[in-house]
Structure 1
């Protein structure tokens, strides 16, 4: 399939990676000029782009020529909204149409979101070519921009309201038919009251109104699809309801055309099929609205207006009109208008909807704030640091939308089955009709018609198409509300299959900021006095341990004295004079070098070292004055998170570049037995590979630049959201708050989503496998009743509603789900 007629001449402008010199330019130009129909070929080294005119507009051949020449055209992604999708067969048809456009590498269509994601060579595919391909197979393409999304939401709300109106109308018009037709079987004497030709004419008139009014949508969409040779759910409904209606019309107005004894009325089947499927679609529309509720809540966090400070005066402006550098005032109880930095005032901000952390965070001058979070107490002024798509909230929404629009590997099986499912159902319906017509009891034609219609109606693959995407939508949305961002849906399945969790130490298991943990003065010395002397000396050093000691002094409000004669002895410690006192700070070997015995403090120093802390001695005027210890404190909740992971049967390992003694101390405190210490960034990759060979799939958790290679190597890379940008970009999952409880939540949600998907797929497939033979009348020979088309319609509608309702249960899922 091509996007335009072969005779069309098209201008192409393609980026080319790998151009480095004039010979590269010549090589690419020759490769393109050799293509049939190519003209006006030019390659620009400065811009790194190739342009040409190509007859036939098949951009794929140009991309292939550049690749054969040894260069590459980078990939790009285009998102497209698609209207009119109703079942899994629609999804497959739209995907095949998009994949057939020259230059397209892969296309994925999501039934729940109504969006397509198309990967293609940059510059080789136009939006017009994609939209034309979608239109050719009977669907309506649209934009996924914010304005278009708002318009589309409006259309969905209108469609939901229309469905409800049609359902009410169909129900009111169908009720008399049901009373007339079915009531005569249960109420004695009613047959004589409602019987005769007049009754049949009333039923015909009401049925015509149902099918021409509320049921018109099925025929308007299903018949064209059938004529194009691409039947979908609407075609199945149109065939089933239409066949029952037309047969009943003939029975009413031309009974002589039918074999004797076969002129039965099936108007009630025709109208109830339409009514019940409208009921199912109405419930689906409501449920689909709830599956995207997390996105809607995230988007709704951004306030519509902001208080801009202009020349000292507050001016209310639209939030979209804010610019970088603007100063905005946020009062108590208001949402923060934009990402920025506090420049005046103090407050506490509730960031739970972004990070999942329920406790408000203190904010003062210089503190960063996130747009959309809730200011609880004080009034603050902030400088706007990001707007539009660059804000944290916009990036979170984009990540969640991307994850919701993605497909899991398990979906490939569904796609292969649904590609042939509807044609197979139509064939099964035709065989059922012929079998009953030839082998069925008299009147065979009536039995054949009823059972063929039941097969058509009951086997619609709606539930199959909704089984996976609805679970992904609800699960990733629930995760986002808990401060866990799945950057792609595939990570949901991969995390479920992880057998070992490898964790970086600094910044992941620990706070990443060393602090003073112990201060043990020797007899005759004051703790504060010794700390002030040591901190004065350490204030001249840039070592992280020095900064921890100085910070502890500032926290206690101690005054630092003037330092003279400062000296740093590499590998030992530092020395100098603070006022009139001679002070030395260093390791045990420094005290030995100075001839100062450690005494009883040596035992305590050994104990502190075993706990993963770094002990240092302080000597004043040649006497041992104190033992201090500095450590990177373990994060609150880290031990509980490790225990929860182990309780789920996972192997937990620590991979760190820190010294083995420090690493072992932290590992002991957390209950981690597997340790890789003193490893370089490349060594972390090797550690991941070793863990994979030993245990299976690996989930790696880290926060620093040195963790990025390991994050990319692991089956699932999980980044601490408070870490570096490169770590976040390398990861599949982001824990926004930085707390390891989020890791347990992510694992629990992954398992819950995958279990939910398996339940949905089992229901969807088992339902069809079990009920198609029943609808065909396979149990009739064993004395069982036939399945009415009306019951088939109800069962089909309920199957989709069940799948959606089951997916919505994930909104209550959390880290405790296993």
Structure 2
């Protein structure tokens, strides 16, 4: 457990919570703890199933747990970390729901067969009765428990409807099985509806299983972020160096970081020079040169030389720890949107109950000698025809088909809520590197010294290829890839030396060659030709990276390297803007490069040089303006913004963490898939609304008939069996309508 002293005499501690199944549960837990003696405050994070409690010293965690257990909830009090405890609880709950679903399905199959094909076989009714009891009151008991919790809060949702309809159907069927003569003496057939009750429980349990499966994987992104932190580090001592656990490092400690190692904590360079991969922070692929006095960040990777650093931030104070914390907070800060079905059920359930009671009362008052029987049958028929099978299927069937349609088009959708919300997007934030652009430096232009002939250019190209093939630097790789297109045979250098922040010096045939920046050439007395100078100034203005190639005393070529805009990015951005969506671009890159890419892509709203936390703040600022914001990114530095956005979209080639946090992943990393995803959302939501229409049209027509509105006119009284058939037909209509989505183009 994570615990810290908030103020004198109080503790602030975070506990995993058990038993929460909805936003109402979260609110109940928060309220109960807040009103417990000795508790200063309580804040529930429903997404993570945790609660942070500030309580006085005299109160024990067990006392808090006891207060919650009285109403069906509980706290996990353990020596394990919160992350471990939450994961264990999620896995335990998933396995429990899985067991409930499988158990209910196994028993439902024979009940369904007996009810549909052997309905007149008397022993079959007794068999169904025996098999239905464990389906409802063991495997499906959570529906009744949750319905009771909702009732105590004066609320109603799908669980209420499930518990009510299945419970009534079971009691009526059990009565007709045990006392069949009661209806027979009234001249009526004692029908049973065990199959309806069990099928409802099994179908909706299966939906909850899929939901729990999705929830159990939400913590993987945090696990991967936490995995970026090295577990040990090398502390420099007065007499010798020692390897210590990262938890033992103190502010001011001197640390040795070898080539290839992760920077363990935030700090500054006190000795040495190297290139550090900071793509985790900035999103930019080109390593940053670090020399004495430069800042270093935990989780970034030292690529070349050894560095000695001094720790300036450790533990929860590091940039990486703050990213982890902010992602965790962001995932929990979005209160779950109450599903449309629950909203409808909140009105529909009380209405149905009222109609059913009114039907019973009216029949008792105006009924004939069979008034009690008619009242009972009519009120039960009302409840049966209002059974939530079609209502329960309306959203998940459309979403399931929508997700399948997305997968066919290289759009992976993990979250039904995002699929439903995407159609409302009015603002999209795009990361630059790897999202709009390819994220891989490429040679854009080459200017060779005009004094060279074709033969000389080819020989020098082979020499340059040989030199750059020896380097792992992204800029060297870009030049190598460009030269390899010419099918050249490289000339390997006999000598090779790298100079951090400048470039490399190599020897071939007793000649010295230089590949690097202008500073390297100046230090080796290589004059830059006049034709190169205006070309270099123009490209530098556009944010291009310049790499010179020279031999002793002579500049041979100038390469300009940049990150290219992806095929389709400009088209996708134009399509989004044409549909009324405002497009923003955020990047950790410099202002000049950002302005150039924005101009090329046709984006008006940009912000450059942003840190990961600033991306998250940017999302929040737009949301404060009542905008529905989508974030599209591919890196660790985008993870907080992705978690905060209303709709989060990751590029398929990006980091695992970005893809874990995001709810939609574009497998091909083609931005043109975003307008397709939005159109898919529109079609799916339209399908859901149509499904809800079909789910309710039978109720609108059927409930008055079930209540007996036609009886005074033509003596027709709806049999509960026919009511059950109407309910089943509405379910077929819903499924059929959902399947039509498969034929539509996005």
TM-score when normalising by structure 2: 0.59
Counterpart of 1:558 (choices 483, 486, 490) is: 490
Question: Does residue 1:453 correspond to 2:380, yes or no?
Answer: yes
Structure 1 window deviating more from structure 2 (688-697 vs 763-772): it is 688-697
Map residues 321-720 of structure 1 onto 2, 5 A cutoff: 408-411=336-339, 414-415=341-342, 418=345, 422=349, 424-439=351-366, 447-465=374-392, 467-468=394-395, 490-519=417-446, 521=448, 522=450, 524-525=453-454, 526-532=456-462, 545-546=475-476, 548-549=478-479, 552=482, 556-561=488-493, 579-580=510-511, 594=527, 596-598=529-531, 614=545, 625-635=556-566, 638-639=569-570, 641-642=572-573, 645-646=576-577, 649-659=580-590, 662-667=593-598, 669=600, 671-676=601-606, 678-681=608-611, 684=615, 688=619, 696-704=627-635, 706-708=637-639, 710-711=641-642, 714-720=645-651
Query: 1:498 offset after TM fit, Å?
Result: 2.0
Distance 1:651 1:802 in 2: 38
Query: 1:166 offset after TM fit, Å?
Result: 2.0
Distance 2:493 2:135 in 1: 86
Q: Deviations over 1:190-224 (max 9, x none)?
A: xxxxxxxxxxxxxxx67964774566679978999
Q: Determine the structure 1 residue equivalent to 2:170.
A: 238
Q: Determine the structure 2 residue equivalent to 1:202.
A: none
Question: Does residue 1:16 correspond to 2:3, yes or no?
Answer: yes
Q: Deviations over 1:79-138 (max 9, x none)?
A: 78x9xxxxxxxx899889988975896698xxxxxxx985445856999998886699xx
Distance 1:713 1:97 in 2: 25
Q: Deviations over 1:227-246 (max 9, x none)?
A: 99986222221354467779
CA radius of gyration, larger in: 1
Unaligned segments of structure 1, at least 5 residues: 1-13, 29-65, 83-90, 109-115, 137-142, 177-204, 256-262, 297-398
CA contact (8 A) 2:364 2:371 kept: yes
Query: 1:443 offset after TM fit, Å?
Result: 6.4
Distance 1:718 1:18 in 2: 38
Q: Determine the structure 2 residue equivalent to 1:772.
A: 703
CA spacing shift, 1:649–1:128, aligned 2, 3 Å: same
Q: Determine the structure 2 residue equivalent to 1:73.
A: 13
Question: Does residue 1:793 correspond to 2:720, yes or no?
Answer: no
Distance 1:598 1:618 in 2: 15
Distance 2:676 2:181 in 1: 59
Distance 1:95 1:806 in 2: 35
CA contact (8 A) 1:654 1:672 kept: no
Distance 1:770 1:648 in 2: 39
Distance 2:590 2:743 in 1: 40
CA spacing shift, 1:421–1:696, aligned 2, 3 Å: closer
Map residues 71-220 of structure 1 onto 2, 5 A cutoff: 71-78=11-18, 118-121=49-52, 153=98, 156-175=101-120, 209=126, 212=129
Distance 1:545 1:234 in 2: 67
Q: Deviations over 1:452-493 (max 9, x none)?
A: 232121123344455556666776688789876767665445
Structure 1 window deviating more from structure 2 (430-439 vs 749-758): it is 749-758
CA contact (8 A) 1:568 1:575 kept: no
CA contact (8 A) 1:502 1:700 kept: yes
CA contact (8 A) 2:393 2:735 kept: yes
Q: Determine the structure 1 residue equivalent to 2:285.
A: none
Counterpart of 1:250 (choices 178, 182, 204) is: 182
CA spacing shift, 1:559–1:634, aligned 2, 3 Å: farther
Query: 1:73 offset after TM fit, Å?
Result: 1.8
Distance 1:107 1:541 in 2: 48
Distance 2:444 2:395 in 1: 50
Query: 1:792 offset after TM fit, Å?
Result: 0.9
CA spacing shift, 1:447–1:802, aligned 2, 3 Å: same
CA contact (8 A) 1:207 1:245 kept: no
CA contact (8 A) 1:79 1:144 kept: no
Q: Determine the structure 2 residue equivalent to 1:260.
A: none
Query: 1:504 offset after TM fit, Å?
Result: 1.6
Distance 1:565 1:149 in 2: 57
Distance 1:93 1:686 in 2: 29
Query: 1:173 offset after TM fit, Å?
Result: 4.0
Distance 1:217 1:797 in 2: 23
Distance 1:126 1:668 in 2: 58
CA spacing shift, 1:156–1:608, aligned 2, 3 Å: same
Distance 1:129 1:481 in 2: 50
CA spacing shift, 1:648–1:657, aligned 2, 3 Å: same
Unaligned segments of structure 2, at least 5 residues: 35-41, 54-60, 75-87, 152-159, 217-326
CA spacing shift, 1:446–1:408, aligned 2, 3 Å: same
Distance 1:485 1:577 in 2: 51
SS in 2 for 1:74: strand
The alignment of Structure 1 onto Structure 2 pairs a total of residues equal to 580
SS in 1 for 2:453: coil
Query: 1:700 offset after TM fit, Å?
Result: 2.2
Distance 1:225 1:659 in 2: 58
CA spacing shift, 1:18–1:536, aligned 2, 3 Å: farther
Query: 1:431 offset after TM fit, Å?
Result: 1.4
CA contact (8 A) 1:421 1:461 kept: no
CA RMSD of aligned residues (A): 5.9
CA contact (8 A) 2:433 2:587 kept: yes
Query: 1:505 offset after TM fit, Å?
Result: 1.4
Distance 1:557 1:750 in 2: 52
Question: Does residue 1:264 correspond to 2:187, yes or no?
Answer: yes
CA contact (8 A) 2:43 2:52 kept: yes
Higher relative contact order (CA 8 A, sep 6+): 2
Distance 1:653 1:707 in 2: 14
CA contact (8 A) 1:502 1:654 kept: yes
CA contact (8 A) 1:502 1:698 kept: yes
CA spacing shift, 1:674–1:694, aligned 2, 3 Å: farther
TM-score when normalising by structure 1: 0.54
Distance 2:658 2:636 in 1: 6
